[in-house]
Amino acid sequence: MPDISKLHNPYDFANPVSDADLFVGRESELEEINYYLDQAIAAPNPINIAMLGKRAAGKTSLLNMCDIEAKKRGFCTVRIDLDEGDAKTQLGFFYKLFDSLFQAACKFGAFGGKKGKTFDTYLDIVTTYKIPDEKTFCPFVFPIQYAKAFGSENYNVQLSDNLFKMDLVEVQSEVNKPIILLFDEVNVLSGNRIYLEKLRNIFMNIRGYMLVFIGTPDLFPVMDEIFSPIVRQFKKINVGEFEDKEDTKECIRKPLVALDIKPEEIFDFETYRDVSEIHNISGGRPYEIQLICHVLFRRVQTKRAKKMKLDVSVLEDVLRELETSQDIRGRPILTKIKSLNKEQLSALRLLCICNEYATFDHIWAIEYIFKGKKARQKEDLKKDFQYFVDEGILETRDNIINFAGDDFDKIYTKYFSRERKVSLDIQGYPLEVFLGIVLAKIIGKIKGMESLKDNVAVYSSGTREEICTVAKEMSGVTSKKDVFAESNPQIMKTLYHLMLNYRNKEKVPIILVEFVSPWLNALFWYYCENPNDISSITKCLHKIEDLKKRSKEVGVDLKVDEIKLPVVSIEILADQIEHTENENFRNYIANTHNKKMVDEYTLEKNTEEAAFHADLSYRYNPNPKYWCSNNLGYVFMSTGHLDKARELFGKSISTTSEDSSPTYPALPYYNLGILEAKCGNIKNAFKNVELCLKKMETVEIKDGECACLFIPETINGELKFKEINRPDILISAQKAKKQFENFL
């Protein structure tokens, strides 16, 4: 491992990600972006994109990736980073737009480039406000209007839409490529409707231009009204926190790899506990993940710790980092927060958990339903609530509770509270989501019970009828329609998973829990993960029944029911998935089986179950990625399906490219060598191991480890194979070569 003290800290929490190699997650968002970029190349009028998300959610990083993807496709990309000053005057705003566009076009090679006469003339006009007698080298109208207006200090001149359009057409004609305008911080325009209206009028029917806006969710209602509705001209993409802990894991791992540090030497990825803690504390928000990891890495650099490990002192360091970035003394809300005791922080946590979504009565009702006599007394909580309002920490709008601070206040409050062992996160869950989280804590205590998604109950729009209908359609009894192309994706995924688990049973028991009131309408459904021990179903029913009386006391009707769905045979399911037109769903299921195969083989040591998942994964996706082909081939080889294994190792070798992992195609060459040896083809085995060694010449030692390999050894004059975990590919190939030499 290199000397960490001499390296830069790779966790840059202060800046968005601009390197595609360090970008993590957002597969579905990137898929949407790439689709509309491809459409923009062919379509006469591109569909624009609006990326909306909370502060520090990673919107600008995604915008950077959009910039990179557009450049790959030959777009002329124009970056327009807005600030409050750009919204002061109409001409000032459109100057920012035109100047960014013109400079990008010149950089692209248009108008003779930045060393050409046109650029020089333009620069003279907009900096001196003087119009040259010879206008041949400035084929635009807007710069002249801008110079005349600002030269005479007439800053409120209205923009001519038609003349501005003419200039845009002139630029596009000269560039002769699609142009994409990437607007950051569009929220600065939310108070200037006329600017957005003019953007709509100018770009609505102009060819060759695509707009990408990023902003916070409060921008959307304004845009929706102006673009009437926005969905006609913009594809809305929501950018939220990372939901999958794997994304958080990659956020931690990739910066270390970029510094040539072997991640496992500095961070414990094996137990996954530290990854989970960072994910939970940060709420999956990229900015906070980077901030925490920046502090963790700095502690290793300064020899305060041997590994990047989360503890209370790290939270203190994060808090100090936040304090150095802002003047806390100038923030009255934080001054008040820092004076709160643990009991008050706990009350604030409860009152803010549905920030901007719930009233005091809503919050207390859910607290009472689930805790009963153990809940905070309503009058005591009311007193805390009134105190927070009086102190300016909370405010109400139409009785809805709102935290009065900004995004920085929210982040600081979270880490200040964590340091005092209170999990206060002012994220703002909708009531249904909050209800699901609380319910999940109760259900989660019952061994074996799972819910619709990731063992955390979430609000589902599905009903009893929808669940039963999808289950019947999966069996093909009620219709021959393409169920996996037309049904609710969440319900399909969960039901498919259940049918696999219960494949040796006749019925799948499911519990439906529904909350109904004038202010609440939510349905949750739970199932028993282990089909051989469904006693947890009964326990679950009893547990939820206990909540009914208290629900009624606060005006909520709680309905609990059990339904039993017929199990659909694997062959019927597999046939439907194999032939569905929903390619994304088929690939998703194939990848799910592949991951399950790896877990069953490496963690559970269940080769039979691993082979079952391998068969389905390969059936659904006969052309998997290079790494997936190798893994599938390995499982098939270990379970005696040698022809399939040979085919897949060959695919892995042939699909390996320059941007593949360092150990490819060395790894499948090695595995193919082992397979040939098992078949008695020692000459071919030797040849493939030699190819593996040749490929490993360019691989650094730190990259040579893999999950498991078969190692040849000679016992009583016969060639045998022993499987070992975490071997080094190079060392294993060298040993294999020596063994094979003895049998040539």
Q: Where are the domains of the chain?
A: 26-238, 245-429, 432-573, 612-741
The single residue listed with the structure tokens 């046109």 is 118
pLDDT bracket for residue 455 (50, 70, 90): very low
127-136, 234-243, 388-397, 454-463: segment of lowest average pLDDT: 454-463
* 481-523 confidence digits (pLDDT tens): 788 887 777 788 888 988 999 999 999 998 888 899 999 888 8
Give me the mean pLDDT over the 187-198 stretch.
Answer: 78
Q: Is 566 exposed, middle or buried (0-12, 13-18, 19+ CB in 10 A)?
A: middle
Asked if pLDDT for residue 457 goes beyond 80, the answer is no
pLDDT bracket for residue 329 (50, 70, 90): confident
**26-238 and 612-741 agree in CATH topology:** no
Q: Please give the Cα distance from 554 to 362 (Å, whole number).
A: 9
Q: Please give the Cα distance from 77 to 82 (Å, whole number).
A: 16
Q: What's the mean pLDDT when you consider all of the chain? A: 87
Q: Which residue intervals of 208-244 are DSSP H helices?
A: 219-226
> Would you state the pLDDT for residue 478?
61
Q: Please give the Cα distance from 318 to 328 (Å, whole number).
A: 14
If you ran DSSP here, which 8-state letter would residue 204 be given? S
> Would you state the pLDDT for residue 469?
81
> Would you state the pLDDT for residue 71?
93
* 581-615 confidence digits (pLDDT tens): 988 889 989 999 999 999 999 989 999 999 999 99
20-34, 345-359, 390-404, 667-681: segment of lowest average pLDDT: 20-34
pLDDT, greater one: 475 or 634 = 634
Among candidates 515, 550, 538, which has minimal Cα distance to 370?
550
| Residue 601, both tokens | 């083989």
> Would you state the pLDDT for residue 77?
94
Q: Please give the Cα distance from 471 to 484 (Å, whole number).
A: 11
* 137-181 confidence digits (pLDDT tens): 788 888 888 888 888 888 788 888 888 999 999 999 999 999 999
**DSSP bridge pairs for 119:** none
133-142, 161-170, 304-313, 653-662: segment of lowest average pLDDT: 133-142
52-56, 133-137, 339-343: segment of lowest average pLDDT: 133-137
Strand ranges across the sheet with 76-81: 76-81, 179-184, 209-215, 48-52, 234-238
What CATH number is given for 26-238 in this structure? 3.40.50.300
If you ran DSSP here, which 8-state letter would residue 622 be given? S
Query: From 2.40.170.20, 1.10.3720.10, 1.25.40.10, 2.170.150.20, which CATH number describes the 612-741 domain?
Result: 1.25.40.10
Q: Which amino acid is at 569?
A: S
**DSSP bridge pairs for 80:** 183
- Tell me the C-alpha to C-alpha distance, in Å, between residue 377 and each of 122, 177, 357, 372, 383: 70, 66, 22, 10, 10
> Would you state the pLDDT for residue 695?
92
Rounded (5°) CA angle 124-128-132: 55
Tell me what percent of the residues of the chain surpass a pLDDT of 90. Answer: 40
Asked if pLDDT for residue 454 goes beyond 70, the answer is no
If you ran DSSP here, which 8-state letter would residue 184 be given? E
Among candidates 580, 620, 578, which has minimal Cα distance to 484?
580
> Would you state the pLDDT for residue 224?
59
The single residue listed with the structure tokens 């624009």 is 48
Among 465-469, 512-516, 638-642, top mean pLDDT goes to 638-642
| Residue 400, both tokens | 């809805």
Asked if pLDDT for residue 4 goes beyond 50, the answer is yes
Q: Which residue intervals of 400-463 are DSSP H helices?
A: 407-419, 431-443
